[in-house]
Amino acid sequence: MWALQRTQARNTQVHVQIRAITHTSSNHYLRRLSRYNTHTHRNLEGAEKVFSEMKELGIPRSRSHYAVLFSLYYAFLNRERAEFRLETMKVDGISPSAFIYNQVLAIYVRLSDKEAANRLYERMSEEGEAGKPNRVTYSLLLKLYSRVGDVEAAEAMLETIKTKSYAELQDYGMLLSAYTRMLLQEKAQALFKEIRFLARSEGGFRKPGQITGRVFTKGIYCSMIDMYSKLGMIEAAEELFNYLRKEDLLDAVIYSAMVDMYAKQLRTDDIDLMLKELQEKGYFKSDALYSTLIDMNAKIGNISEAEALFQEARQFNRYTAPIFNSMIAMYGREHNIPKMDSIREIAESKGMMSGDLYLPYFLLYVEQKDVAKAMSTWSTILSMNYTPPDTYGQLLIALVKDKSEYYEAAKKLVKSKNE
């Protein structure tokens, strides 16, 4: 009897020790995974190796381990691996959390894939409590619908947010951006009026501190200025700008929006006044402003000024895609491929491996009716997980319509872009 009790006690102690070792090992691997997912060091391949090592050693993998991987999939925009891992979680007997689902959803948002996002949303709605849609899910969908111009879905999602949670200023701003991009002037002005009313009302938004935060308000004002610009309503934009000046709400981004409007009209005198005022206030040119000024100078044939602006941007370490895209597009219009290559190589050396850097090449080859190079460039763009606008696909089809040896291949390339 005593011998049996001593054996049971030893067995219990062994099981406790095993659980302690497993738990320690699991935490150890979580720390190792996390080292590959910091702001200064992201290494998807390294994290995948650690994850595989856990499987080989029989170390249990939890939602926390998967969460690190999915964060990296989003950072690297790796849709294929994210979708694969979402299914293999079942093998480990783990149901995805809302955080993990939202990482995959965020990838679809960045790729503007509404169909995939809707399917995932339906799947989340059928999940257990841990994987149910949450506030982040609704905001991501609102952002997607606004981006792709699905106004009806965006309006419905904002109402969902109001019903299930609370609407913040940036939620209204996303819907407003959809209205302004679609040039729905009446809806945009009505929503803008509602936003301003709520901003003045006590308790109008859940987080009052965000109402006066220029991080959000500048985007809303810029959306309105951009819409007025596209509609040719210059006086309305200037009236709004003067109101912002009176209320001391101006910043570099709003100045950039005004310069962009004047640049579309080639009103160089007004641009000079804006830039002078910008400098007097001590603001630096934004990345978008550099891009706008480079584009305008390229249009009027002032290549030397555009190049000077690019060198100025580089001095301030402004290595962003819009600036490089503007320079590559400018040289593309000049048919200067060596200079296009030199700018692209600088961009890629800074880690900008984006398909939109190749769009000017594609347009140039279409203009030159070089079918082989146009199709090759299109393939390169798609291989970089970049989805070109539909008009580019139409250009490719139009280019090869009389060339039977290329037509079917071109149709497949354009179709694969939409899948």
pLDDT at 412: 75
Q: What is the dihedral of CA 242, 246, 248, 249, to 10 degrees?
A: -40
Which pLDDT does position 397 carry in this prediction? Answer: 86
pLDDT at 205: 55
| pLDDT at residue 9, rounded to an integer | 46
Which residues are within 8 A (CB) of 288 and not within 5 positions of it... i.e. 6 or more apart?
Answer: 253, 256, 260, 322
Q: What is the reported pLDDT for 168?
A: 83
pLDDT of the residue at 217: 66
Q: Is 37 helix (H, G, I), strand (E, B) or coil?
A: strand
Best CA proximity match to 330, nearest among 353, 363, 355, 354: 363
Angle at 86 between CA 58 and CA 110, to 5 degrees: 135
Which SS3 state, helix, strand or coil, does residue 42 take? strand
Of 89, 108, 81, 99, the C-alpha closest to 136 is: 99
List, in sequence order, every residue forming a beta bridge with 42; answer none if it has no partner.
37
Q: What is the pLDDT of residue 16?
A: 38
Q: What is the dihedral of CA 138, 104, 349, 301, to 10 degrees?
A: -40
Amino acid type, 354: S
Q: Quick: pLDDT tens for 102-146.
A: 999 999 998 889 999 999 999 999 887 778 999 999 999 999 999
Alpha helix positions (H), 149-286: 151-164, 169-181, 185-200, 214-230, 234-246, 252-264, 268-280
Intervals of the chain under pLDDT 50: 1-2, 4, 9, 11-23, 206-216
91-100 core/surface letters (b: 16 or more CB in 10 A; e: else): eeebebbbbb
User: CB of 290 within 8 A of CB of 318?
Assistant: yes
